Amino acid sequence: MWKMSKKCPVINDNEFHESKNALYGRLVDGIEFNSSGGLCKALSKAVMLDGGVVFGAVLVHDEVVHLKATNENEYTAMSGSKYLQSNLEGVYAQIAEELNKNNKVLFMGCPCQCAAVDINFKSKKNYENLYVCEILCHGVPSPGIFKDWIRFLENKYNSSVVNYYFRSKKNGWSRPSIEIVFKNGKRIFQSHNESYYHMWFGKHLSLRKSCYKCKYRNIKRVADVTVGDFWGIKNLDVVDDDIEKGTSVLLINTDKGQRLLDLAREVNNVFLKEISVDDAYINNTPSLSNFSMPVERENFFDTYKTEHIEGIIKKYPAENKVISLLRKIKHTVKSTRKE
């Protein structure tokens, strides 16, 4: 049994690093299922081709768990952001086992999870072989709500959910949508605003309480590298025809992080350009500073406790198709004016 309390990152402080370097870019091929530019995949490939293993988040029906990948095929299930907290049960013991065998290990997760992994292994054997990659994080919804959301969808469509893509790129990277596939062949494709679950996430209603006072929303970072969406790219004067394939931002925070990037460049066909650390956060302020807890959050969770998922669906509706269409038109006009 792993003793967590002495190494809890909330009680004990990790070392926070000033980012040394910032870049944006993408893997040149095969990033349809990666949420931004697939740079998490590029870093993972580098470690796995060097004989190492990767731990990342996988959606298993109605919950997200961290699993181990040893090759590109196994990494596929880790691709894509899943908007709920992942379960790390058993992962520390597996990381310890890999480090004891002198294998390289890459752990990928939310900043709080990375802080916990880093502080737990700092004084352990072969820590030099542990790379930690955090994603920029808006906050994570409660896993219980997601379970009930899936149950609600399965009852409504009378079939089990076999695939749930939180960030489909079918309408392009900058207009993320959700795609849900059912066993009976039914498919739901919606913008984030049209989906109840994603609306609650976007409006910060369903996030865990700790996410409103997260110390990892900070220009100084805990992980070796940080990967996020480069939402600021359209504000910079760059010519890049592939933006809509997906564009990641990458922050290099430690020497280990730099070694990981060097390795990733050697084994991947990757497009990367340097930018300033300040530019890396353009249009991405929720990753940098905490937002306040919405006043309706308490009522949202009270309703959920007493009236279950059906209650919050009634009281906190998603955007209807007409409003959503008007929003899309406004978005298109705005982007055309910029060009």
Ligand X SMILES: Cc1cc2nc3c(=O)[nH]c(=O)nc-3n(C[C@H](O)[C@H](O)[C@H](O)COP(=O)(O)OP(=O)(O)OC[C@H]3O[C@@H](n4cnc5c(N)ncnc54)[C@H](O)[C@@H]3O)c2cc1C
User: Residues in the site for ligand X, rule: CB under 6 A?
Assistant: 34-41, 56-57, 64, 78-84, 86, 108-110, 135-138, 140, 227-229, 246, 248, 284, 286-287
Rounded to the nearest whole angstrom, what is the least distance from the CB of residue 280 to ligand X in the complex? 9
Of 35 and 168, nearer to ligand X (C-beta) is 35
Rounded to the nearest whole angstrom, what is the least distance from the CB of residue 9 to ligand X in the complex? 15
Rounded to the nearest whole angstrom, what is the least distance from the CB of residue 325 to ligand X in the complex? 25
- Cα 265 from Cα 46, distance rounded (Å): 8
Of 30 and 51, nearer to ligand X (C-beta) is 30
304: which 2 tokens? 């959920």
Q: CB neighbours of 59 closer than 8 A, spacing ≥ 6? A: 77, 82, 164
Rounded to the nearest whole angstrom, what is the least distance from the CB of residue 113 to ligand X in the complex? 6
Of 91 and 137, nearer to ligand X (C-beta) is 137
Q: Given CA atoms 301, 307, 310, 315 in this order, what sign does their dihedral have? A: negative
Of 36 and 195, nearer to ligand X (C-beta) is 36
Of 83 and 316, nearer to ligand X (C-beta) is 83
CA distances from 112 to 53, 88, 253 (A): 21, 12, 16
Rounded to the nearest whole angstrom, what is the least distance from the CB of residue 133 to ligand X in the complex? 7
Rounded to the nearest whole angstrom, what is the least distance from the CB of residue 41 to ligand X in the complex? 4
Q: Could you please report the per-residue DSSP string of 164-224?
A: EEEEE-TT-TTS-EEEEEETTS-EEEEEGGGSHHHHHHHTTSSB-GGGGG-TT-SSEESSS
Rounded to the nearest whole angstrom, what is the least distance from the CB of residue 257 to ligand X in the complex? 15
310: which 2 tokens? 């059906």
Of 137 and 312, nearer to ligand X (C-beta) is 137
Of 156 and 197, nearer to ligand X (C-beta) is 197
Phi-psi region of 126 (alpha: psi -120 to 50; beta: other; left: phi over 0): left
- Cα 83 from Cα 18, distance rounded (Å): 27
DSSP assigned state of 38: S
Residue 108: its H or E element: strand 105-109
223: which 2 tokens? 């992980």
Of 242 and 311, nearer to ligand X (C-beta) is 242
Rounded to the nearest whole angstrom, what is the least distance from the CB of residue 166 to ligand X in the complex? 8
Of 88 and 119, nearer to ligand X (C-beta) is 88
CA distances from 287 to 8, 49, 273 (A): 22, 31, 21
Report H helices in 208-276. Answer: 255-267
**8 contacts 262 by C-beta, under 8 angstroms:** no
Rounded to the nearest whole angstrom, what is the least distance from the CB of residue 57 to ligand X in the complex? 3
* Backbone φ, ψ for residue 59 (5° rounding): -85, 120
Q: Which of 63, 53, 106, 104 is nearest to 87 (CA)?
A: 63
